[in-house]
Every structure is written in structure tokens, then in C-alpha cells.
């Protein structure tokens, strides 16, 4: 892959063509349960929705407000209003060039990244395979796409392991997990999940926790009746910064980082400002409770800096803490095409956030760290911006 612009987004969102699942899942077996776009009546309006397992999902047919123009934010209500640049990998390259981005790590968009909600393990496995196959094909269009695997939670760990291996062979470079496992599955730190950690470590496939990742930080505040829809969304998403603090202690004190010291964890769309607290808090607990006597020989802050990575896109204050957190542990993200994206002015946002940051740090934050974490064979083009040059 060629670095022309000096920006890799460690968190963007894929889109799916309306036939992505119907063309890959058995109609004879699953019928209308297959994820697909269908027309419904919404208070007298004929709108489109993604349906999964015969039920509508979400209040739009494409989470792509960055592509919809004014009034902002607008979400498409009919399929013909969804810009192809959001779901067609060939067209999507135009967006990368318009925004000056070299590559992007791809997380879920409608119809979603989990299919366990229907308590049907066989359906979930087929839907997950269709998702991973559809997204894996993006890498045949361009090496600028870095897909992230979703997993079939209701399957046994060995089946999950095989799906991770299969998707990785097709071009995926990591997995996306819920921070809270679906009931009644075992806790994330239970040895039950060790085959998943083991294969991800063996494949050098980072484990991702995206946004609130199912732990629902701020969920109750979102539904206060006094909020407008925009205010409610803001009240929920602003609390995503606490997500790493809710998960990192489990990974460390549950012994996962001790048993799998080469396993990478990435916290996407959660910001970086909250990491200083959790570094201090985990070290404090480790010291006060003498946890090295219980097999946790590595100081928590050392484990974090060895194995964990986080993303930023707007935090001018968080960037000031970059060396306390670890300059090698932070990556830039665009969140394209969601409401928080600065597309097509990402460079302006970067310059604002990184004002006064020296070129060596910029290179790490903007593309070098991401290239290393995801094993990209990146070559810097001589004409790339100064801050992108090695």
C-alpha cells in the first residue's frame, strides 16, 4: 500500500449493498429472515429499512450522514437515496481521495455487526459468514481497505476460531467484539474464550472494542423524555470515553494479558482522554493488593502500553497526554461516514488537533502506528505531505 496523504483511519464504517446477504445466504433455508432491504409504512410514508430475521432494524436504511448534505445530519429513508460511495468499494475510493486518506479500518454499518439477538445459532453463523465474505471482497478492489471480522457468539469457541481463521485468510485483519457477552454466555474473561484469544494472538489479529461495544455506557441518560433526538444521541455517545475503563480492568485482572502477552486490543471510537485514569487506577489496585502474588506479574500500565491501542479524532486535550498514554499506542480515526466524521475536511481537523505536535509524533499518530498494528506493507510516497514522510 502506498502512503500518499499521510492519513490512515483506524475507524471507518463499511456499507453493504442491498443484495450482500440475499446473494450469499440460502433463500430456501432462511427466506425473509435473511438480512435485506424492505419497504414499510412509517406514519404514512413509504420508507425502506434493513430487515433481519424478519424484523426491521434501525430508523434509517443507511448510517451515512456525512454523505447526505444539508440539513445535517440527515439519514436516508429510501434505498435510492443511499449514496453508492457509502457501500460500493470502487466508489468508496473516491471518498478516500477526496478526504486525503490512504486507508481505512472497516467496522459495521447497517444492517449491523451482530446477529445473536434471535437466539438462532445456525442463522447467526450463516449471517456472520455472509457479512465477512461480503466485506472481505473489498480487499480484492483495493489494499486500502482493512476489514474487521465479526464473530458468531452462539457457536462454540472452536467454530468461532475457525471463522476467524477463514475470514483472516480472506483479507480480514482483526475481530470486533462486544464488551459484554450476550446472555447467557460466559464472561469475557472466562477461560471458555481462550481459543479465541489464542487464534487472534497466533494470527496477529487485533481484538477490537468499538464505541460502547454493548456495555451501554450512558444508555439510561439517552432515553430521558426531555431530550430531543439529537440531544439524546449526544448524551449517549459522549460517554463512550469510559468504555476502555470498563473493559481494560477485566482484561488485566482476569489474566488475559498475562496469558496472551502478544495479543493486541484496540479501543475504537472511544477517544484517548480516559486512558490516563485507568492506567493510574489499575496500577494503584495492583500495588495495593499485591496482585503479583496471584500470578499477575506484569504491572498493568506496562501491559496496556505493550498490548493496547486507542483512537482519537477531535481531542486536543487528550493529545497533550500522548506520551503519558504512549505515543506508539494512539491512532487517528475519521469515523466516516457517521455524524462525527469531518469528511471531506479531515486534514483541517487533524491540523487543529495536532497544532504544535512535532513531525515525528505526527507520523506515528496519523499513519505509522496503524500500519504497524494492522501489518500493512506501507510505502511512503515521496510527494506525500511533510508530516507523512519517514
Per-residue pLDDT tens for 4-46? 999 999 999 999 999 999 999 999 999 999 999 999 999 999 9
Q: What percent of the chain has pLDDT over 90?
A: 84
Q: Which residues of 27-55 are buried (b: 16+ CB within 10 A; e: fewer)?
A: eeebeebbbbbeeeeeeeeebbbbbbbee
3-class SS at 357?
A: coil
- Beta-carbon contacts of residue 100 (< 8 Å; ≥ 6 apart): 5, 7, 346, 347
The pTM for the full model equals 0.94
Q: Is the pLDDT of residue 386 over 80?
A: no
Rounded to an integer, the average pLDDT of 177-194 is: 93
Confidence at residue 275, expressed as pLDDT on a 0 to 100 scale: 87
Domain span at residue 96?
2-26+84-388
Residue whose C-alpha is closest to residue 52's, from 129, 130, 115: 115
pLDDT tens digits, one per residue of 141-175: 999 999 999 999 999 999 999 999 999 999 999 99
Is residue 356 situated within a structural domain? yes
Is residue 50 situated within a structural domain? no
Residue whose C-alpha is closest to residue 300's, from 340, 348, 346, 249: 249
Confidence at residue 220, expressed as pLDDT on a 0 to 100 scale: 64
Q: Evaluate whether 95 touches 335 at the Cβ level (below 8 Å).
A: no
Please tell me the distance from the alpha carbon of residue 52 to that of residue 72, in angstroms, as a whole number: 28
Confidence band of 390 (pLDDT split at 50, 70, 90): very low
Instruction: Specify the CATH number for the domain of residue 321.
Output: 3.20.20.140
pLDDT tens digits, one per residue of 89-147: 999 999 999 999 999 999 999 999 999 999 999 999 999 999 999 999 999 999 999 99
Is residue 79 situated within a structural domain? no
pLDDT tens digits, one per residue of 300-348: 999 999 999 999 999 998 899 999 999 999 999 999 999 999 999 999 9
Rounded to an integer, the average pLDDT of 45-66 is: 96
Q: What percent of the chain has pLDDT over 70?
A: 96
3-class SS at 9?
A: strand
Please tell me the distance from the alpha carbon of residue 69 to that of residue 83, in angstroms, as a whole number: 11
Is residue 31 situated within a structural domain? no
- Average pLDDT over the chain, rounded to whole? 93
**Displacement of CA 111 from its chain's centroid (Å):** 15
Q: Is the pLDDT of residue 382 over 70?
A: no
pLDDT tens digits, one per residue of 202-258: 999 999 999 878 776 666 666 778 888 788 777 777 777 788 888 999 999 999 999
3-class SS at 387?
A: helix
C-alpha cell at 12: 471507518
Is residue 125 situated within a structural domain? yes
Confidence band of 389 (pLDDT split at 50, 70, 90): very low
Number of domains in the chain: 1
Rounded to an integer, the average pLDDT of 43-65 is: 96
Which residue, chain included where needed, has cell 473516491?
A: 94
Is residue 75 situated within a structural domain? no
Is residue 361 situated within a structural domain? yes
Q: Is the pLDDT of residue 65 over 80?
A: yes
Amino acid at each position: 500500500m502506498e502512503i500518499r496523504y499521510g492519513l490512515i483511519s483506524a475507524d471507518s464504517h463499511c456499507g453493504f449493498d442491498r443484495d450482500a446477504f440475499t446473494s450469499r445466504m440460502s433463500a430456501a433455508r432462511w427466506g425473509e429472515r435473511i438480512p435485506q432491504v424492505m419497504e414499510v409504512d412509517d406514519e404514512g410514508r413509504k420508507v425502506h429499512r434493513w430487515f433481519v430475521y424478519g424484523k426491521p432494524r434501525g430508523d434509517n436504511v443507511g448510517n451515512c450522514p456525512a454523505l447526505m448534505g444539508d440539513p445535517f445530519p440527515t439519514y436516508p429513508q429510501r434505498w435510492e437515496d443511499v449514496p453508492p460511495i457509502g457501500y460500493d468499494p470502487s466508489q468508496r475510493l473516491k471518498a478516500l481521495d477526496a478526504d486525503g486518506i490512504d486507508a481505512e479500518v472497516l467496522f459495521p454499518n447497517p444492517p449491523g455487526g451482530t446477529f445473536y439477538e434471535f437466539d438462532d445459532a445456525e442463522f447467526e453463523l450463516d449471517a456472520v459468514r455472509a457479512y465477512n465474505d461480503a466485506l472481505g471482497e473489498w480487499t480484492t478492489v483495493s489494499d486500502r481497505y482493512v476489514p474487521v471480522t465479526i464473530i458468531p457468539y452462539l457457536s462454540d469457541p472452536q467454530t468461532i476460531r475457525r471463522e476467524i481463521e477463514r475470514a483472516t485468510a480472506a483479507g480480514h485483519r482483526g475481530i470486533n467484539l462486544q464488551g459484554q457477552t450476550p446472555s447467557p454466555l460466559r464472561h469475557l474473561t472466562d477461560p471458555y474464550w481462550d481459543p479465541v484469544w489464542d487464534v487472534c494472538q497466533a494470527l496477529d489479529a487485533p481484538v477490537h472494542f468499538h464505541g460502547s461495544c454493548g456495555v451501554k455506557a450512558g444508555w439510561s441518560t439517552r432515553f430521558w423524555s426531555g431530550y430531543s433526538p439529537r440531544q439524546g444521541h449526544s448524551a449517549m455517545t459522549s460517554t463512550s470515553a469510559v468504555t476502555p475503563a470498563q473493559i481494560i480492568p477485566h482484561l488485566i485482572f482476569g489474566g488475559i494479558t498475562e496469558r496472551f502477552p502478544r495479543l493486541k486490543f484496540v479501543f475504537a471510537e472511544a477517544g484517548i482522554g480516559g486512558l490516563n485514569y485507568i492506567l493510574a487506577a489499575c496500577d494503584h489496585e495492583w500495588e495495593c493488593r499485591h496482585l503479583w502474588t496471584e500470578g499477575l506479574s506484569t504491572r498493568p500500565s506496562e501491559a496496556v502500553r505493550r498490548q493496547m491501542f486507542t483512537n482519537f479524532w477531535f481531542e486536543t486535550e487528550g493529545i497533550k497526554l500522548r506520551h503519558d498514554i504512549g505515543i506508539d499506542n494512539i491512532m487517528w480515526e475519521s469515523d466516516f461516514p457517521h455524524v462525527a466524521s469531518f469528511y471531506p475536511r479531515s486534514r483541517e481537523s487533524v491540523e487543529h488537533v495536532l497544532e504544535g505536535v512535532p513531525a515525528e509524533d505526527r507520523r506515528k499518530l496519523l499513519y505509522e502506528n496503524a500500519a504497524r498494528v494492522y501489518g500493512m506493507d506501507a510505502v511512503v510516497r515521496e510527494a506525500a505531505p511533510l508530516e507523512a514522510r519517514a
